[in-house]
Amino acid sequence: MSLLLDLHGLTKAYPGVVANDDVSFEIARGQVHALLGENGAGKSTLVKMIYGLVRPDAGRMILDGDAHAPDSPLAARDAGVAMVFQHFSLFDALDVAENIALGMSDPSPMRDLAQRIRTVSRDYGLPLDPGRIVGDLSAGERQRVEIVRCLLQSPRLLIMDEPTSVLTPQEVEILFATLRKLAAEGTAILYISHKLEEIRALCDAATILRLGRVVGRCDPRDASASELAEMMVGSALAAPARPAHEPGETVLEVTDLSLPPAHAFGTPLRGIGFTLSKGEVLGIGGVAGNGQDELLAALSGERLSPPGSVRMGGRDLSRLAPEARRKLGLLAAPEERLGHAAAPDMSLTENALLSGHIRKGLARRGFIDWSKARHFARDVIAAFDVRTPNESVAARALSGGNLQKFVIGREILQAPDILVVNQPTWGVDASAAAAIRQALLDLAQGGAAVIVISQDLDELMEISDRFAALNEGRLSAPVPAASLDVERIGLMLGGAHDLEVAHDTGDGAGIFERTKMKQAAR
Amino acid sequence: MDLSAISATLLVASLMVAATPILLAALGELIVEKAGVLNLGVEGMMITGAICGFATAVETGNPVLGFAAAALGGAMLSLVFGVLTQIFLSNQVATGLALTLFGLGLSSLLGQGYVGIKPPSTARLDLGPLSDLPFVGRVVFGHDWVVYLSLFLVVATWYFLRRTRAGLKLRAVGESHHAAHALGLKVRAVRLCAIAFGGAMAGLGGAYLSLVRVPQWTEGMTAGAGWIALAIVVFSSWRPGGVLLGAYLFGGVTVLQLNLQAAGVALPVEYLSMSPYLITIAVLVVMSARGSKRSLGAPADLGKQFHATH
């Protein structure tokens, strides 16, 4: 393999932080090169320099023998660099062809372009209809649009910034097949991720960044996931400790909870029933869109349910609003951090106040006790190692992992009797995720009951006492997690009522395979 | 009352004249909003255009120069808004409102020596035998050149937005400025150009009022036409064809109520004068009750502040 891109001594500093410090590495033609690192390690800044969005303070790049110093994405594209963004750079109201034309330097006329889109997308197994409005597409299809946009320019280097975070397991498989095909044709791929299993399955070289510096290089196929994680984090990751315990008294009883969907694309809840006892962690798994958000809303009080369907210690909660449930000790942390769990433009203090004012007594007779509120926010920041300059920073300014730690910590420090969390470690790096899981276990250890709704099966296996699966708004009967193996979980996720279908469509099986892959990685 | 006193020919012909100022201003604002900027200063830019055009036409004796000066004046004023909102990142709503107030004051100041003067007239285009045709000749072929320019601009705007790459870029900037920036589009430059175009169009619309429709200069003579232009953009679902429809509908109601008054309809004048505004409100309510923001066609990043973060 011959050398394509040579990065030498790249440095970029922002006020107060050095994002990249003397970063050097090489990418060969046809190589799938992983760029590994935790949130804030400087991965995004580095690729933005290669793509011409940011100019380095020092250092040089050599692309195929020529100096590469793009001053705009346009120049980078002309040099043969294409990029698929972490947050989609798509326009919802425009159609597929228009979106693709916008990302190209010299697009052909629309009619030819539509034809080329059809051809290329079919060749690479990513079928796309150029006339569809992007806003109507699924996450996987939207990503196809971005990839096809890159492919149409026949790039020499394709940069992918965390491409799999929004994809279903099946879509990940399709993506990997496409990337392998591209690599076989000689395109170099720079693949950014912190999902170690994926990198081990796909990449043939890896550079690891920590705090803006290169801390290691390896062949990910030869390294174990825990070795990679250790290089990323800088210390060995401790698996959460979960001492055995006897089930306590029942604190939450959900019986025959049914709700119609909240909106046109929602899932109804169908006769959900379970009990939860003191000190227990109940894990609820399932593929996204099977009723997770709806279940959380029904438990937190965002949506009221039929009388008698949610009872806490004999008391009927089903018609109580979130505030009243908080008062009684049932707290919840929803999945969407910005806009649901936290108000993006409000400070951390204000966000702490919004959910904590009742249990922490942060408001008296309608007046806010600001010093107490600030104290509470500071406590959360200190206890959960939230990296932020201070508590007056807007929630939006925090990285995903840090905000997640804040949101979960805010609820835990209110000493709930019952805590419901949805996707507690989604988009969070390995060490932060481990910290959050440990905090949830500690909470249960202290006698609280915890419900963890998650799509990460490893996470659920690691922390739950009992496990149940959500499928099309139905919840399977919870079973002890220790007695489960991967195969059984795969079947539960597919829905016990249609086992064959699940196998045929690969729906349950896909997850199942992926989990196996993860296990093999350990 | 005597409805036969209302001549259909004159009604349609004067409808087109009444609609032209708001059509021009609304087309400009359509482009501005398609680029994601909400400029509430249309009224101020229109009246500034009205006095710039009037003064220039009176001084030079040439109405064409007057219209050019009006476009220039409107564009200059809009760039004040552009610089404040795009470079100094001020709030668009507040700045737009301030622009209206500023424009009203500035125009009164400029217009002090021009009250009561008659401007040089803008001739109707003489299209020979075409203009002599019954009804059609008067309605379709009997107008001044600005009416035809405004109709041409409706088509040109549609073609620009739908068929050209520059138009696609403009829509992209209005739809998601972050995505557009990531793709290397110059968000600020696109928006400044759109704002200047919007100002020029509002200026033209204002000059049409002071040079053709009224034609003379009085303080505050736009009398809310800029606000109506803003409403028409929403009414049109951000489509040039809809802007034409809205402007002519509105012009029609205005002219009709004048004619009804003249014909002595036994309804208080005030009801008739408020009817266009009531209809606008009713249409806006019906439209937004009917669909979500997206089906309305509003640019997703309309009125949002863009600050490149790298």
User: How far is the alpha carbon of A104 from chain B, nearest alpha carbon, in Å?
Assistant: 9
Rounded distance between C-alpha atoms, residue A200 and residue A34, angstroms: 9
Spell out the domain ranges in chain A. Answer: 3-233, 250-475
CB-side neighbour CA atoms (13 Å) of A520 = 11
CATH class of A3-233: alpha beta
What are the DSSP E strand ranges found in A123-277? 157-161, 188-193, 205-210, 213-218, 250-259, 269-277
Q: Which of A98, A93, A84 is nearest to A135 (CA)?
A: A93
A104 touches chain B (CB under 8 A): no
Indicate the range of A292-301, B268-277, B286-295 predicted with least confidence.
B286-295
Q: State the nearest Cα–Cα gap between B105 and chain A, in angstroms.
A: 36
To probe the interface with A, which of B169, B183, B304 has the most A CB atoms within 10 Å?
Answer: B183
Residue B35 has pLDDT above 90, yes or no: yes
Say whether residue A88 is in contact with chain B using an 8 A CB cutoff: yes
User: Nearest CB to A72: which of B169, B176, B184?
Assistant: B184
A44 touches A161 (CB < 8 A): yes
List all residues of chain A from 36 to 55 with a beta carbon under 8 Å from chain B. Answer: 48, 52-54
R_g of chain B computed on alpha carbons: 20
Decide if A53 and B310 are in contact by the 8 Å CB cutoff: yes
CA distance A86 to chain B (A): 11
Instruction: Report whether pLDDT(B187) > 90.
Output: yes
- Per-residue model confidence (pLDDT) at position A378: 94
pLDDT exceeds 50 at position A511: no
Q: Which of A89, A102, A135 sits opposite B169 (nearest CB)?
A: A102
Asked if A107's CB is within 8 angstroms of B310's CB, the reply is no
- Across the interface, of A54, A88, A93, the residue whose CB is closest to B175 is A93
- How close A89 comes to chain B (CA, Å)? 4
| Partner-chain residue, chosen from A72, A85, A102, that has the shortest CB–CB distance to B172 | A102
Q: Do B172 and A72 touch (CB under 8 A)?
A: no
Is A89 within 8 Å of B185 when comparing Cβ atoms? Answer: no
The chain-wide mean pLDDT, for chain A, equals: 83
**Tokens 């394709």 label which residue?**
A158
**Closest residue to B300, CB basis, from A77, A93, A107:** A93
Going from N- to C-terminal start, the domains of chain B cover 3-296
Is B78 or A494 the better-scoring residue by pLDDT? B78
Q: What is the rounded average pLDDT of the residues B230-236?
A: 88
Q: Is A507 exposed, middle or buried (0-12, 13-18, 19+ CB in 10 A)?
A: buried
pLDDT class for B71, splitting at 50, 70, 90?
very high
Instruction: Provide, rounded to the nearest whole percent, the portion of chain B with pLDDT above 90.
Output: 53
- Contact flag B176-A48 (C-beta cutoff 8 Å): no
Chain B residue closest in CA terms to A397: B309
Q: What value does the mean pLDDT take over residues B253-260?
A: 82
Of B20-34, B85-99, B233-247, give the lowest mean pLDDT range. Answer: B233-247
Q: For chain A, what percent of residues have pLDDT higher than 90?
A: 27
Q: What is the mean pLDDT of chain B?
A: 88
Residues of chain B with C-beta less than 8 angstroms from the C-beta of A135? 294
pLDDT of the residue at A519 = 42
What is the count of residue pairs from A and B with beta carbons less than 8 Å apart?
Answer: 54
Find, among B116, B122, B150, B130, the residue nearest to B53 by Cα: B122
Across the interface, which of A72, A85, A94 has its CB nearest the CB of B172? A94
**Six-digit token pair at A1?**
């393999």
pLDDT score of B58 more than 60: yes
What average pLDDT does range A373-402 have in this prediction? 88
Q: What are the tens digits of pLDDT across the range B269-281? A: 778 777 777 877 7
Q: ipTM score of the complex?
A: 0.81
The CA distance from B159 to B168, in Å, is 11
First to last CA, chain B: 69
pLDDT (tens digit per residue) in A100-135: 998 887 777 777 888 889 988 888 888 888 888 887
C-alpha dist (Å) from residue A189 to A160, A181, A255:
7, 11, 51
User: Which residue in the set A73, A93, A94 is minimally distant from B183, CB to CB?
Assistant: A73
On whether the CB atoms of residues B46 and B104 are closer than 8 A, the answer is no
Is the distance from CB of A190 to CB of A47 less than 8 angstroms?
A: yes
Give the pLDDT score at A37: 81
Answer yes or no: do A89 and B179 touch at CB < 8 A: yes
Residue B310 has pLDDT above 60, yes or no: no
* pLDDT tens digit sequence for A182-194: 999 999 999 987 7
**Is pLDDT at A522 greater than 90 in this prediction?**
no
Cβ atoms of residues B47 and B104 within 8 Å: yes
Contact B174, B33 (CB under 8 A): yes
Q: Summarize pLDDT for A7-25 with one digit per residue, the tens.
A: 989 998 887 678 888 999 8
pLDDT-derived band at A507, boundaries 50, 70, 90: very low
Residue A139 reports pLDDT greater than 60: yes
Residue B197 in tokens = 């175009």
| Third-level CATH fold of B3-296 | ABC transporter involved in vitamin B12 uptake, BtuC (1.10.3470)
Per CB-CB distance under 8 Å, the chain B contacts of A87 are 178
Task: State yes or no: pLDDT of A505 exceeds 50.
Answer: no
Yes or no, beta carbons of B175 and A103 under 8 Å apart: no
CA–CA distance, B305 with B267 (Å, rounded to integer): 47
Rounded to the nearest angstrom, the minimum Cα separation between A135 and chain B is: 9
Q: Two tokens at B3? A: 């409805």
Superfamily holding A250-475: P-loop containing nucleotide triphosphate hydrolases (3.40.50.300)
pLDDT at A499: 35
pLDDT of residue A518: 40
pLDDT at site B23: 96
